[in-house]
Amino acid sequence: MKEHSALYKWVWIRPVFRQLRPRLMTMIVALVLPVSLVCLTLSVVSICKSREAVDSMSQNAFSFYLDQVALRQELGDIDVMTDFPAGLAPSLTLLHWNAPQPDVRADNGSSVYVSKDGEQAFLILQDGTWREEERSFASLKQERNSFLWEKEGQPFRVLVTFSYDFSLRNVPAWFWAALGIALLTIGISPILFSRLKKDVLDPMETMNHALSEFQKDRSYRIPQQSLVVSDDFHRLFEHFNGMAAEVQAGYEKDVKLLESEMDNLRLQVNPHMLLNSYNMIYALAESKDYATIQDYTLCLADYFRYVLRRGQQMVTVRQELEFVENFIRIQRIRFPDRFSYVYQAEEDCMSAMIPPLLIENFVENATKYALDPKAPIEIVVSVHREEDEDGGNRLHIAIMDTGSGIRPEVLEKLQKKEPYIDEAGQKHIGIYNCLRRVELFYGNRGDIHFTSAVGGGTQVYLIIPFSLTAEQTLKQG
């Protein structure tokens, strides 16, 4: 960190100045700078107007004097055309340097030219002599600051040119002061902006960066800032870190509650499967089908190992589909030739992360309630990725069967995401648990749709965000 002088620390870093700095810089940039620009504009306009006024006064005085010379020439009082331009030179010399015309004779940068035919030009010198000018009279008339006197019937023409600083000498002093302030303010405006950037813009960028990082990592905090940052933003950063700590603590508490609820939801799925398995093993033992009992027992071991494992809240689509295949093997032992199962999944979707039992719950529901005693049913699972409206990716999972369908009153409960209670008072929680878990994992980013008709099968469509683990993302990248 840069070391500052004791004077800098005493003046600039004092609390009163630290509080005033952002407001002072903003006021200067927002008020003083525009006012200075206005002053600069007024100064330039005033200079132009002053030049016009001075030129007008000079021209009027000059024109009046030359009119007198022309009149005296006509009356015969003088003969300015004798040995032209020598005869005219004394009168113009008097006018140019000695006559009471302060705006002309005070300017040593002015020049007086005379011409008889409008082409040949003669320069009248200060000592009353003259010399022929190399430039033509017509080209001299193109000078920006000049005045031309010519009159119909008069045998001569007179052109006076003025230097640029002649008009500037007539600008009022207060205009020069305004111009100087404006130029000074414009000159130091980069310094003012740099100060404003450090006091306001950079802290705002720090805050925006902190908000973005906090969305990715709830443990992110704004680092300790140097004294360059104003007290207002220091307090804002402290409040942000405090609120971030509260949000993180609340988030961790919610996660623990959700994990507890997830465990409860997972355990509610198991009892009926366990009882059915005991009954199935007993029946197979009575028939002494020991090979089937071994196969069935191994499938059950894999089933309960997957269902009861802890510490893994998400699984891949591949793991879930393998578990569904294992579940289907169990059901085929229980219900031979009663249904067929097929799945189709895009290869890049096999590594996508989903909650466990998300697909299995709906497949299990089809084997329990959709079986038709008269004809076998078909269960189809499809998984693919699609792009959403915001340009992101989402996972689309469809579970379809050709079974007996869902009764309207049950379908209504599912559409409302409520558990169904039958006439006997039994609460059916399998699909409701699945809906609840999607809500816990994804909030409003996940959705489930049901379509069904009695005797026409059931279609379940799950739409959830497409996500991979960090390792999987690196491999695909």
Exposed e or buried b for every residue in 386-414, given b needs 16+ CB within 10 A?
eeeeeeeebbbbbbbbbbbbbeeebbebb
Residue 325 banded pLDDT, cuts 50, 70, 90? very high
- Identify whether the C-beta of residue 143 lies closer than 8 Å to the C-beta of residue 161: yes
Q: Give the DSSP H or E segment for 464.
A: strand 458-465
Tokens linked to 203: 């802290």
pLDDT in tens, 105-124: 444 567 888 888 888 888 88
Chain centroid, CA 15 distance in Å: 33
Cα separation, 54 vs 167, whole angstroms? 6
Which among 5, 102, 27 has a CA at the least distance from the CA of 58?
102
Note the pLDDT tens digit of each residue in 270-289.
Answer: 566 777 777 888 887 888 88
User: What are the b/e assignments for 196-212, b being 16+ CB within 10 Å?
Assistant: bebbbeebeebeeebee
Q: Return phi, psi of residue 452, to 5°.
A: -165, 155
The set of residues, in sequence order, having a beta carbon less than 8 Å from that of 422 and lying 6+ positions away, is 428
How confident is the model at residue 87, as a pLDDT?
75
The tens digit of pLDDT for each residue in 398-428 reads 999 988 888 888 888 888 877 777 776 666 6
257 vs 397: CA distance, rounded Å: 27
* Whether residue 258 has pLDDT greater than 70: no
Give me the amino acid identity at 348: D
Evaluate the omega torsion of the peptide bond into residue 85 and state whether it is cis, within 30 degrees of 0.
Answer: yes
The model's pTM: 0.48
Task: Identify residue 123 by its one-letter amino acid code.
Answer: L
User: What values do phi and psi take at 326, rounded to 5?
Assistant: -65, -40
